[in-house]
Homo-oligomer: A and B are copies of this chain.
Amino acid sequence: MKTAERVLLISLELFNLHGEANVSSVDIANEMEISPGNLYYHFKGKELIIEALAKMYQQRMDKILLAPKSTSLSVEEFFYYLLLIFEVSHLFRFLYRNPAEISEKYPHAARRFKKVLAAKESVLFGCLLSFKDQEMIHADHDQLKQMNELIGLIATQAPNYHLLRGMDINKKDYVYHSLSMILFALTPYINLDKEKFAALNRSIQTQPDD
């Protein structure tokens, strides 16, 4: 692996574990067992590392967001799709820890982050609209908007919420828990036969090992 790539992966891990504000360039160099000078040769400051990570996050998320042909998604596939989105967010969870501070300190990275959130919201709303068209969801336009907003709240705030409840968000359990919160919020509107619904519920409740 090239040094620059290693810098990014190790920085990402440190930021996720300790919060971006508590990790300095020197910490990153120490963890990599290279000199701060060598680190500086690759990234001229922490800001550029954050920017590169935000770009990685954007690229990974864009790939997923382009995937669904929302007109043909089943409800089960929609939840699988949400899982993929949650997994990428989980990988870059430091961005979700204190977005206000990240925004202030790293406006470039924040712009990417916000673009991703807007794209995510719009793609998911497209899925909900198509569910309505296919009568897989019974809800008016306003209700779809409120569902989408709840999904957005759960998706963006799940790490902080679960931290607050004393969960270890370095394990992925909270991701499945968040999916089951979304399923609960959508349940009254979903048109899915009992068996399929139970199977979907089970697959979310069964938390695979990390």
Q: Which residues of A contact B (CB under 8 A)?
A: 19, 21, 97-101, 114, 117, 143, 146, 149-150, 152-154, 156-158, 160-161, 163-164, 166, 180-181, 184-185, 188-189
Q: How far is the CA of A36 from the CA of B86 in the complex (A)?
A: 46
Cβ distance A181 to chain B, nearest Cβ, rounded Å: 6
Q: Is B21 within 8 A of A160, CB to CB?
A: no
Indicate the member of A100, A146, A158 with the most B CB atoms within 10 Å: A100
Q: How far is the CA of A52 from the CA of B2 in the complex (A)?
A: 50
Q: Is A101 within 8 A of B99, CB to CB?
A: no
Q: How far is the CA of A184 from the CA of B140 in the complex (A)?
A: 13
Cβ distance A78 to chain B, nearest Cβ, rounded Å: 19
Q: How far is the CA of A117 from the CA of B162 in the complex (A)?
A: 13
Q: How far is the CA of A161 from the CA of B154 in the complex (A)?
A: 9
Q: Is B153 within 8 A of A100, CB to CB?
A: no
B-chain residues with CB within 8 Å of residue A117 when the two chains form the complex: 164
Q: How far is the CA of A156 from the CA of B158 in the complex (A)?
A: 11
Q: Is B184 within 8 A of A146, CB to CB?
A: yes
Which residue on chain B has the smallest CB distance to residue A155?
Answer: B161
Q: Assuming the A-B contacts A157-B157, A160-B157, A164-B117, are A185 and B98 also in contact, with contact meaning beta carbons closer than 8 angstroms in the complex?
A: no
Q: Assuming the A-B contacts A150-B184, A181-B150, are A160 and B19 also in contact, with contact meaning beta carbons closer than 8 angstroms in the complex?
A: no
